[in-house]
Structure 1
Amino acid sequence: MISDYNEESEHTEMQLYLARLGQSFGYNVWIAQNNHQRQWQNETLGRYSLPVFPAMDLPKSIADTIAFIDVLWLNERNEIVSGFEVEKSTSIHSGILRLHDLSLSVGNATSKLYLICPDQREKEVRAQLLRPSLQRTQCGPISYIRFLDLRNDCNAICK
């Protein structure tokens, strides 16, 4: 039970940092609809998110899938600038697949895609991102950010 709480708490912490960064860069932020009520250090994630997923020229099933990406940064035209998946304990593949689906669905070659991962999973993430199936795709490249880097640099970047 304690480990589940810690995993959820750390996941929420990373989402909060990403939301704060997005807002500091002037983007609208969307946080996965099922995470709006989560809190970290008495801050509710929904406070940083658009209240409803913005209308996009996409089939409903695709929009519904995209609405569950952990964090999205959107420009003033509601185009997705960056997408982030926080992978604490689940399969790295699941985060990569969600980001890949996002890239193929919105067709925005300029969108930046990121996995946010614990430091101890960096080697695993790098190995997965180098798989030939990800190198030979129309999907934009997926990069990663370690928890420690996001945690240490968020406040300085936001200033």
Structure 2
Amino acid sequence: MVTMISQLPRNQQYNYIHSATRGVIEIVDVTLPEGPISIKRYNPAKGQSSSTSAPVTISSQMIQRVANAFTPNNPINFDRILGASYNTRSVLESLIAHTPQFYHCKPGRVDNVGRNSAKVKKGHKHLVWMPDNPHPLGQLAETETAVIISEVPSNAIYYDPIDITNTQSQFEIDDIDIQRRHSQIQVALIRIGEQLGFRTWIAQNDRGILYNNRRISEMSSVVKSLDTENMIFPHAGAVRSAHLIDCIWFKNGRLMPAVMEVEHSTGVTSGLTRMKNFYDHIPPYRDTRYVIVAPDEERGKVVREANRPQFRDLNTRFFSYSAVEELYSLCQRRRIRGITEEFLDSFMESVVTDATHLPYS
């Protein structure tokens, strides 16, 4: 997506999609492959010009959040994706629409007018990715769509009370909310593991977390001791190197679906280093995923660090917080059964080598 915007000519005025918006947009600079993008916006009707306007930045985090929402031929609404965040969201939307593979459209919207009745009304402006039907570069193009959108409230994620005062964190963390967020994600991973038939190892220093008034180590699916795990115990140094890894999933005493580091407040490099140390002490199990679990906006950092030469053997995957909670929400609402471990690959993104050159980057 960033690459396509970089192909738009500089020093040219681009209109907003919404015709009532009188201002124009000018591209100043585009940093490949993932942004940021520097632009100017001004209104010539008010005597404003490029020379009198200061550059504004469209962040990589915003771009990535939008890029992750696109699938071919499915319209997306920028306001729903970004909420009230980012005052440059209409700028990014308009620039994307000037690239050949993107159109704006107004899909129908289901209006639930009663318990047993509904009608389709004219919808709001959406953007749709149509890679097989490009239009000329630098032009806005509208398309008709038969898609009808039923807008339902987002599913909330509920965590029982978490008390972290009894833990001995391996890092110095001043912000207790950050530590609690880290612990919430660990709990979500335990619960997801339960649904998928996994047992979960939790880092030694986090086992004193009180979740719903009992220690996290007392949860039935949490591994009590690594000394009983036959997959790693026979290998010198493996148990020692695994003790401080945030989460490890085990299955049937024969599989280790994922080794995960939750990096909410610490550097990604430290998590990769712990996983690499563990990786070096065990056989290269084919079905083991090495995963950095981190906030969505940290994706760029994960990609950069995971592609460092010393970590490439891990073939690291990125499990964003939003993906964790999407899967956790599914587990809360449905009793998932009969799926394979490949189901996880729908939520975890491979970020090594070729992943940095995916079309949406």
What TM-score comes out, normalization by structure 1 length? 0.84
Question: Equivalent residue of 2:281, what SS?
Answer: helix
Single out whichever of 45-54 and 111-120 deviates more from structure 2.
Answer: 45-54
Gap regions ≥5 residues in structure 1: none
Single out whichever of 16-25 and 124-133 deviates more from structure 2.
Answer: 124-133
Please tell me whether residue 144 in structure 1 is matched to residue 321 in structure 2: no
Identity between Structure 1 and Structure 2 (%): 19
Q: Which residue does the alignment assign to 1:155?
A: 329
What TM-score comes out, normalization by structure 2 length? 0.40
Over the aligned positions, Cα root-mean-square deviation in angstroms equals 2.3
Question: Equivalent residue of 1:106, what SS?
Answer: coil
Query: C-alpha deviations, 1:59-101, integer Å up to 9, x for none?
Result: 2x43122121101111222643211100012111111111122
Single out whichever of 2-11 and 141-150 deviates more from structure 2.
Answer: 2-11
Q: Which residue does the alignment assign to 1:22?
A: 193
The structure whose residues are more often helix, as a share, is 1
Q: Which residue does the alignment assign to 1:64?
A: 240
Greater RCO, CA 8 A, separation 6+: 1
For these two proteins, the number of residue pairs brought into alignment is 155
TM-superposed CA distance for 1:20, in Å, is 0.9
Q: Which residue does the alignment assign to 1:106?
A: 282
TM-superposed CA distance for 1:37, in Å, is 1.6
TM-superposed CA distance for 1:42, in Å, is 4.8
TM-superposed CA distance for 1:52, in Å, is 1.8
Query: C-alpha deviations, 1:37-68, integer Å up to 9, x for none?
Result: 21356564221412222341122x43122121
TM-superposed CA distance for 1:151, in Å, is 1.9
Match of 1:51 among 208, 211, 224: 224
- Whether the aligned pair in 2 keeps the contact of 1:36 and 1:49 (CA below 8 Å) is no
Question: Equivalent residue of 1:77, what SS?
Answer: coil
Alignment of 1:21-40 (within 5 A): 21-40=192-211
Alignment of 1:95-134 (within 5 A): 95-107=271-283, 108-134=285-311
Distance across 1 between alignment mates of 2:296 and 2:210 = 23
Single out whichever of 9-18 and 26-35 deviates more from structure 2.
Answer: 26-35
Distance across 2 between alignment mates of 1:43 and 1:10 = 18
Question: Equivalent residue of 2:264, what SS?
Answer: coil
Q: Which has the larger radius of gyration?
A: 2
